Each structure stands twice: as structure tokens, then as C-alpha cells.
Structure 1
Amino acid sequence: MKNKRQSVILEIIASGEIETQEELIERLAEKGFHVTQATVSRDIKELKLVKVAAKSRKTKYAPLAGQALTIPEQLMPVFTHGFVSADSVNNLVLIKTLPGMAQAVASAIDSLKLSETLGTIAGDDALLIVCRTDACAEDVVLTLKGFAK
């Protein structure tokens, strides 16, 4: 429940300018999450959200700048060794891996906790990532290719 709520919070702040915790509470309620201000405050802290300047000359919540995506040190060799290619079609990302490496590569990708992904399915030498949008799928491909270099 908490992970789902925090994922929805990230979606909400990505889709519009949320200026206050009260606004965020209202938007969460619209999506079926009835929470208190204390809960939202804890989520904001855990997600490392900060107030930044908005286009409207006010402030809005956004992820902390420079909050880098990282694959844990012990999984990075698995990812770089097993990853072969990545491509997207619509909101799907197909990752090709060396034979027998798809599940290990999927574990490394899952460790990124990408908010725009809904899940990964791994076979023997390929895995499928389901993203929320087509644009997010393209971003995931670029991110993964960046890690593979």
C-alpha cells in the first residue's frame, strides 16, 4: 500500500504543479488514497521531494535534483555482463540478455525502483518491462543503455 501510494505521489507531482501538502492530499483522495497530513509529510521525506520554483512563480514539489539512479554495487557486474540490448514499442521495453541472465538483469533493473514502471517479466534471455506511458518506455531504454556503457 505504501509503495503504491508513493508511486502515485510521484505520478501526481510529475503531472502537475503541486504547491502544498493539502493539494497533494486532495489529489491522492481523488485516486482513492485517503491519508493524513502526517502520512504525506513522511512520504515526502522518504521520497526526498523538495520545493522548487514553478513556472507560475510559486513553488512546487519535485524530486531532489541530482538524486541519481543507481544499481547496487553487487548487481552492477551482473547487469553490465548480462545486458545485450534494449528497445521499446509503445509502453513496453524489451531487454535482450545473454542466455540464462534475464532474471538476474531484471533484479538489477528492479533495484532502480523506477516509478514509471509497472513491472518486469523475465524469461531465459529476454525480459519485458511494462511502463505507464510510451515516453516513459523511451526514457527507461535510454537509462538502461546508459548503465550498460
Structure 2
Amino acid sequence: MLVNGGSAVNIMPKSTMIKLGITVDELSRSRLMIQGFNQGGQRAMGMIIIELVIGDLKSNTLFHVIDAKTSYNLLLGRPWVHENEIVPSTLHQCFKFYRGGVKKILGDVKPFTEAESYFADAKFYIYEDVAYEVIPVEVHLTGQAIPRKDE
């Protein structure tokens, strides 16, 4: 699952739809054209509302289904983030929300399998046991200070 506040829609790949036992006949029509990073467009196969349960968080979520190879099972975009008042943190790989108190959901520390290592971001997760040599670097800054406007 990928929480992406930059996405205007929630996306479900066809592979996830099949794993959930959802058939194409259960999808509502969608005329949505989804534009990706490469600026190429892809028409959604359809859309469906499912009850999404993540820890203590339950929400009926509208997903647009696409037939594409993705690095995620579900992409939760701005509609889901805003409806559920989510505060995501990519740095800490988690998100927080309020339901009778602040709740925190942690992300997967190993989001990729070896079979999925062709995805660009996988290199940051697959070989985490590899230790790289730490090289100390000394930086000497030279130059003049920029004068303040009031001087």
C-alpha cells in the first residue's frame, strides 16, 4: 500500500482486484484518464467502493482500477488522506490519525520481494544488510559573508 498525497485519486491495480475476488462486472463505469509520471495516460477499467480496514481505521473508499504493473497493492491518494484526516510521514514510514486519541500505523520495513526488485525504489530496501564503508569527509568553506540589507 502506498500513501501518496500527490495523487488526485485512489488507485487499485487489476492484480489486487483479482486477489480480492472482485470481478470486472462488479466495477462501475469510469471515464477517468489517469496520467502517470511519464505523462502517458491510461483509462481506468472502472471504479469500486470497498471497505478498507487498516488497524483501527475503517473507511469506505472509492478506487479506480487500472490494468498496470505497479509497485503497490493500493495507492491511497488525497481523497483518502483528506477524508480520514491522515498525517503521513514518508521519513518515518508511517501515518497518524485521530480516533478517540492519536493512532499511528507503521509502514512495511521490507515493501519489496526479490521478485519485485525491478522497481526503481526496491534497491533501497532489498539489500539492507550490505554494509558500506563510511568515509569521513572534511569540508572547508571559503568566501565572504553576504552583507545584510540593513548594513
- TM-score bracket for this pair, using the shorter chain length: under 0.3
Larger radius of gyration, structure 1 or 2?
2
- The TM-score, its normalising length taken from structure 2, stands at 0.26
Question: Where is the helix percentage greater, Structure 1 or Structure 2?
Answer: 1
**Comparing both chains, which one has the higher relative contact order based on Cα–Cα distances under 8 Å and sequence gaps of 6 or more?**
2
Instruction: Decide which structure has greater strand share.
Output: 2
TM-score of the pair, normalised by structure 1: 0.26
